[in-house]
Amino acid sequence: MATISKENYLKTIFNYKTNSGVNATTAKVAQDLSVSNAAISEMAKKLSDEGLISYKKYKGMELTTNGEKIALKVIRRHRLWELFLVKALGIGWNEVHSEAERLEHHTSEFLIDKIDEYLGFPDFDPHGHPIPKKNGTIPKTPKVILLSEAEKNNVYEFVRVDDRDSELINYLIRIEFLLNTELTVVDKLSFDNSVTISFNKKSLSMSKELTKSIYVKAVKN
């Protein structure tokens, strides 16, 4: 049975692989879930016994088909809730992640499908992450890079942002740098790795840290 904890472990293992390209290790999952390494080892054994991950001691873990199915359902619920809270209740896109983090575990398939329908079966959540479909497929995502890797004088579109830092997104709201905004990389400073961009006729310098949370896609001219 997939308890709340197990759902979170599976989701985390899935996201880790998606974001990094490599299998999740004990330490990484522990860090993500803010629990001890020991807790991961114990749970890894259980998830493995239940056929939800394949796990060899000391060698990291990987979702099985069944594990991935559950992970995708949790992520689907999470992202649909986020978009729903924004669209139906006008809640800020910086505030919905933490709500969704809890609601994702307490939503029947019946209810999430109603929400999906209400939203017109959307492909992306408010932070630009793809919403897994009811059938388990994932909408095609554009090829993105971090703003920190963007090249000077090139034009990009802001298409995704890490959704866990409410303060960060709150800053984006304040400077009116919203998803789907077009931007040009005006300058890159080597001594602090800050990036100066222009968008909506404004110019703005972004710190190294900030540019590592912002994903953009190249715009062909």
Contact set with its own copies (CB under 8 A): 85, 88-91, 95, 98-99, 102-103, 105-108, 110-111, 114-115, 118
- Closer by beta carbon to DNA, 4 or else 189: 4
Least distance (Å) between residue 12 CB and its own copies? 19
Q: Considering only 33-41, 76-84, 175-183, 205-213, which stretch makes contact with DNA by CB under 7 A? A: 33-41
DSSP three-state, residue 117:
helix
At residue 4, the 3 state secondary structure works out as: helix
Of 111 and 204, nearer to its own copies (C-beta) is 111
* Contacting DNA within 130-169 (CB under 7 A): none
- Region of 33-41, 100-108, 172-180, 184-192 interacting with Mn ion (CB under 5 A): 100-108
User: Which residues touch 198 (CB under 8 Å, ≥6 apart)?
Assistant: 183, 184, 186, 204
| Of 163, 42, 48, the residue nearest 95 (C-alpha) | 163
**Cβ atoms of 194 and 207 closer than 8 Å:** yes
35 contact partners, CB below 8 Å, separation of at least 6: none
Number of C-beta neighbours around residue 129 at 10 A: 23
Distance (Å, whole) CA 21 – CA 172: 27
Give min distance, CB of 169 to Mn ion, in A. 10
Q: Does 27 bind DNA (CB under 7 A)?
A: yes
Report the alpha-carbon distance of residue 194 to residue 189 in Å, rounded.
5
- Give the x-and-dash track for 58-77 against DNA (CB under 7 A): xxx-----------------
Binding status of residue 36 toward DNA by CB under 7 A:
yes
Given the rule CB under 5 A, which residues bind Mn ion? 8, 97, 101, 163
